[in-house]
């Protein structure tokens, strides 16, 4: 402006140009300040958004971990419940089968008992018919026949004659009484408890060594019962089955065996009392002791 060549026109032009530049610089400065403030606002918003994102990410991670844990726990519970269900189903099948098995076993025993009873009744009927036929064909008058009384221990001695009598079952406290009854009748006493304490393997050897068998069915195992029955049927050995384990039951069994021993080979009745035809008789030939 103080240059010698600067005239008035140039000075005005320069003044106008500088004034414009000042306005432009002021506007640019205001715009810069506004941009700085806007940038700061956006930066704060971005920081808050990042914090929210991080918080949401942490919450989602925790939820995912909780869901995974719950899924694992539920899978374990499902497996445990499935195992428990299978166990209950097996138990239910076992419980359903047990009554049926017990009922079948009871019916089998009942059927066998009825078959034995029918056989005994048929034998009794045949004996009575033969006795009646013999009486009808006998000449009259016939000599009086003195009835043979029921054997008592003193009289049974001549019949047992040292035979080995095996008693299967019975009460342990009554073994002394059993032995006295058998020995008083002239026999040799043997005993097996029917699988309570004695081994069943010993029962086979005892059955083989015995000449006569008295089986007290009320206090022996099913296995022992079938072993006695099968052995006597296979070997033809005489056996009396007695339901009540007592000294009286043993005495009745002896009387039954001795009543059967008085029947001859043709089946003619020489002296058979009603006790000889009672429940439990198994008719087999007499064996001489070896």
Task: Quote the pLDDT of residue 285.
Answer: 38
Of the ranges 2-16, 23-37, 102-116, which is most confident?
23-37
Cβ 214 vs Cβ 247: under 8 Å: no
Partners of 170 in the β-ladder? none
Mention every residue, 6+ apart, whose C-beta is less than 8 A from residue 195.
Answer: 203, 220, 221, 223, 224
The token duo for 138 is 């006998």
Residue 252's CB is within 10 A of a number of other CB atoms, namely: 20
Segment holding 123, helix H or strand E? helix 8-137
Residue 82's CB is within 10 A of a number of other CB atoms, namely: 10
Please state, rounded to an integer, the average pLDDT across all residues of the chain: 76
Q: What is the arithmetic mean of pLDDT over 196-207?
A: 80
- pLDDT score of 172 more than 90: no
Residue 15's CB is within 10 A of a number of other CB atoms, namely: 11
Task: Quote the pLDDT of residue 259.
Answer: 67
In this prediction the pTM is: 0.39
- pLDDT score of 198 more than 60: yes
Lowest mean per-residue pLDDT among 27-41, 212-226, 233-247, 250-264 = 250-264
**Cα→Cα distances 76→71, 171, 226, Å:** 9, 56, 50
- pLDDT score of 23 more than 50: yes
Task: Quote the pLDDT of residue 156.
Answer: 45
Task: Quote the pLDDT of residue 261.
Answer: 55
Rounded Cα gap, residues 221 and 199, in angstroms: 11
Lowest mean per-residue pLDDT among 82-86, 107-111, 242-246, 256-260 = 256-260
CATH of domain 154-282: 3.40.50
Rounded Cα gap, residues 252 and 242, in angstroms: 8
Task: Quote the pLDDT of residue 224.
Answer: 87
Radius of gyration of the chain (CA): 56
Rounded Cα gap, residues 16 and 11, in angstroms: 9
Q: What is the arithmetic mean of pLDDT over 179-185?
A: 84
Longest CA–CA separation in the chain, Å: 200
Task: Quote the pLDDT of residue 99.
Answer: 65
Mention every residue, 6+ apart, whose C-beta is less than 8 A from residue 155.
Answer: 149
Task: Quote the pLDDT of residue 275.
Answer: 37
Rounded Cα gap, residues 216 and 232, in angstroms: 15
- In this prediction, residue 54 has a pLDDT band, given cuts at 50, 70 and 90, of very high
Lowest mean per-residue pLDDT among 42-51, 142-151, 164-173 = 142-151
């Amino acid at each position: 402006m103080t240059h010698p060549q600067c005239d008035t026109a140039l000075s005005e032009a320069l003044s106008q140009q500088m004034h414009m530049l000042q306005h432009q610089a002021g506007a640019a400065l205001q715009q810069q300040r506004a941009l700085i403030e806007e940038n700061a606002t956006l930066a704060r918003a971005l920081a808050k958004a990042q914090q929210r994102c991080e918080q949401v990410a942490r919450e989602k991670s925790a939820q995912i971990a909780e869901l995974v844990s719950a899924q694992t726990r539920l899978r374990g519970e499902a497996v445990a419940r499935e195992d428990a269900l299978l166990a209950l189903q097996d138990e239910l099948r076992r419980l359903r089968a047990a009554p049926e098995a017990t009922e079948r076993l009871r019916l089998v025993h009942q059927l066998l008992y009825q078959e034995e009873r029918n056989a005994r009744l048929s034998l009794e009927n045949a004996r009575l018919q033969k006795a009646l036929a013999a009486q009808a064909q006998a000449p009259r008058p016939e000599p009086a026949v003195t009835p043979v009384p029921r054997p008592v221990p003193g009289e049974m001695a001549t019949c047992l004659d040292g035979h080995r009598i095996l008693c299967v079952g019975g009460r342990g406290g009554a073994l002394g009484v059993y032995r006295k009854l058998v020995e008083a009748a002239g026999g040799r006493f043997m005993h097996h408890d029917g699988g309570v304490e004695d081994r069943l393997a010993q029962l086979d050897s005892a059955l083989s060594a015995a000449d006569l068998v008295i089986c007290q069915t009320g206090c022996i195992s099913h296995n022992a019962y079938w072993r006695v029955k099968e052995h006597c049927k296979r070997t033809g050995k005489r056996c009396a089955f007695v339901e009540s384990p007592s000294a009286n039951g043993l005495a009745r069994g002896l009387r039954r065996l001795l009543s059967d021993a008085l029947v001859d080979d043709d089946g003619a009745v020489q002296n058979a009392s009603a006790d000889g035809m009672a429940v439990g008789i198994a008719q087999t030939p007499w064996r001489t002791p070896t």
